[in-house]
Amino acid sequence: MTNCEPRRIIIIGGGYAGILCANRLAGKLKSRARITLVNPIASFVERIRLHEVAARTDAEPATRHSLRSLLEPSVELRLASVTSIRPDEHRIHGVDTASNLPWAERYDTLVYAVGSGVPATAVPGAAQYAHSISSLEAAHAFRGRLAEVPDDASVLVVGGGATAIELVTELATLRPNLRLSMVTSSQLGPTLSVKARTYLERAEAMSHVRVFERTPVGEVTRTGVRTVDGDDIAADCVVWAASFAVPTLARDSGLDVDRSGRLIVDEYLRTARHPDILGAGDGSLVDGPAGETLRMACATAVPQGGHAAATIIAGLEGRAPDPFGLAYLVLAMSLGPGDGLVQRTRFDDTPSGTVLTGRPAAVFNELNNRYARSILAWERIRAGTYRWAKPPKSSRRAA
């Protein structure tokens, strides 16, 4: 490449992290870079609303948006699935969505922003018998299953975290005849403060839900689940909402990953062996200031998308990049239409005492969801608009 040629930057994944990164790069680098975003479909899916898609037929318009309309006009959109990354050749290989034919492309800089999906191999039987709401297709399939079973069918949600809670409370409110249960290996809302959990346990929607806490699931069967202790919990329909698994692309491509397959990146979001490959969002692993693992969330993915762009821009301008820093502010969840829970957090995501509940929390949660998408759109118009809270410098772990 001569110095005059634009830098070839490819972003894999059109989710929160990938779009923010693409728009910021396009706005800041202009003709200095040719930017392509690769995604299998032409839509951006607001995954944070998939519990709504699972429970209602009218939720999809708010969930699925034209990717092209969210991208800065100079960003090229390539509809394809990447199947391998070849770092030594600076190439990615994949399958074109429209033609189903193999496709390959060279890059100078690659951003890995592939997000997360259903943990198909979480326990035996999960892939065959459990539904999920981790992707739009999965949420559709689950809603389709609910349409087949009787109104008073038994539905068992595996998981006790925010996704499971949002799903079960949405179902409890909109499908009140269903017999709902949750089963979780720890406790309901494990990251909630006592005050927030007390509200959750007493919430109207949760009064329709039977909760099995400290009950790890060992197997999903045709008729429900079998716990690690060998007890059976029967259900007409099981839905796995316990954890997100990441695509195996980084692992399959020989990149450094953790046990779960997340791409390991440094504090600048670069991979150690291949600094021209950066990671952002659920598919990557970066430590928080105190060495803790940051939660998989759009609240994490969006700042990381912005920071990956900042690292790339700094490198092109010959500046040292800044380390990534993120101070969490809230943990917000819906408890069915009209109810919600917003827990104020310290910068390290641990709960502080303040909790907002009820309709004000539901309104906050809805505005927060809209804000997440607005950030992407604003960044399309004016790169650099979005800023996020950073942790205090004194909180950083000694090197």
Ligand X SMILES: Cc1cc2nc3c(=O)[nH]c(=O)nc-3n(C[C@H](O)[C@H](O)[C@H](O)COP(=O)(O)OP(=O)(O)OC[C@H]3O[C@@H](n4cnc5c(N)ncnc54)[C@H](O)[C@@H]3O)c2cc1C
Q: Which is nearer to ligand X, 118 or 220 (CB)?
A: 118
Q: What is the token pair recorded at 2?
A: 């001569």
Options 29, 33, 35, 113; binder of ligand X; rule CB under 6 A? 113
Output the smallest distance, CB 305 to ligand X, in A.
7
Question: Tokens 């809670």 appear where?
Answer: 165
Q: Which is nearer to ligand X, 226 or 299 (CB)?
A: 299
Are residues 178 and 147 in contact, defined by beta-carbon separation less than 8 angstroms?
no
Output the smallest distance, CB 251 to ligand X, in A.
12
Options 9, 26, 29, 38; binder of ligand X; rule CB under 6 A? 38
Q: Which residue, 388, 386, 276, is CA-closest to 28?
A: 386
Output the smallest distance, CB 223 to ligand X, in A.
25
Q: Which is nearer to ligand X, 22 or 298 (CB)?
A: 298
Options 74, 81, 186, 227; binder of ligand X; rule CB under 6 A? 81
Q: Which is nearer to ligand X, 189 or 281 (CB)?
A: 281
Q: What is the token pair recorded at 128?
A: 């065959």
**281 belongs to the binding site for ligand X (CB under 6 A):** yes
Binding footprint of ligand X, residue count (CB under 6 A): 34
Options 109, 134, 193, 357; binder of ligand X; rule CB under 6 A? 134
Cα separation, 187 vs 48, whole angstroms: 22
Task: Please list the residues that pair with 217 across neighbouring strands.
Answer: 227
Output the smallest distance, CB 58 to ligand X, in A.
17
Question: Dihedrals φ, ψ of 338, to 5°?
Answer: 90, -10
- Stated as kind and residue range, the H or E segment containing 24 is helix 16-29
Output the smallest distance, CB 348 to ligand X, in A.
16
Are residues 118 and 138 in contact, defined by beta-carbon separation less than 8 angstroms?
yes
Contact range with ligand X by CB under 6 A, out of 98-106, 147-155, 292-300, 387-395: 292-300
Q: Which residue, 102, 107, 104, 103, is CA-closest to 87?
A: 107
3 state DSSP class of 371: helix
Residues 2-21 close enough to bind ligand X by CB under 6 A: 12-18
Output the smallest distance, CB 217 to ligand X, in A.
19
Q: Which residue is nearest to ligand X (CB)?
A: 15
Would you give the binding string for ligand X spanning residues 41-60, x where CB under 6 A is met? Answer: ------xx-xx---------
**336 belongs to the binding site for ligand X (CB under 6 A):** no
**311 belongs to the binding site for ligand X (CB under 6 A):** no
Residues 205-264 close enough to bind ligand X by CB under 6 A: 247, 249
Q: Which residue, 31, 117, 44, 57, is CA-closest to 302?
A: 44
User: In the Cβ-directed half-sphere of 62, how many Cα atoms lie within 13 Å?
Assistant: 16
Q: Which is nearer to ligand X, 81 or 186 (CB)?
A: 81
**71 belongs to the binding site for ligand X (CB under 6 A):** no
Q: Which residue, 271, 323, 331, is CA-closest to 296?
A: 331
Q: What is the b/e burial string over 166-176, where b = at least 16 CB atoms within 10 angstroms of the residue's CB?
A: bbbbbbbbbbe
Residues 137-196 close enough to bind ligand X by CB under 6 A: 163, 166
Cα separation, 388 vs 275, whole angstroms: 24
Taking 3-state DSSP, the helix, strand and coil percentages for the chain, each rounded to the nearest 5, stand at 30, 25, 40
Output the smallest distance, CB 198 to ligand X, in A.
21
**286 belongs to the binding site for ligand X (CB under 6 A):** no
**110 belongs to the binding site for ligand X (CB under 6 A):** no
**115 belongs to the binding site for ligand X (CB under 6 A):** yes
Are residues 146 and 155 in contact, defined by beta-carbon separation less than 8 angstroms?
yes
Strand 179-183 to 209-212 pairing: parallel
Question: Dihedrals φ, ψ of 331, to 5°?
Answer: -120, 115
Interacting residues with ligand X (CB under 6 A): 12-18, 38-40, 47-48, 50-51, 81-82, 113-116, 133-134, 163, 166, 247, 249, 281-283, 296-299, 301
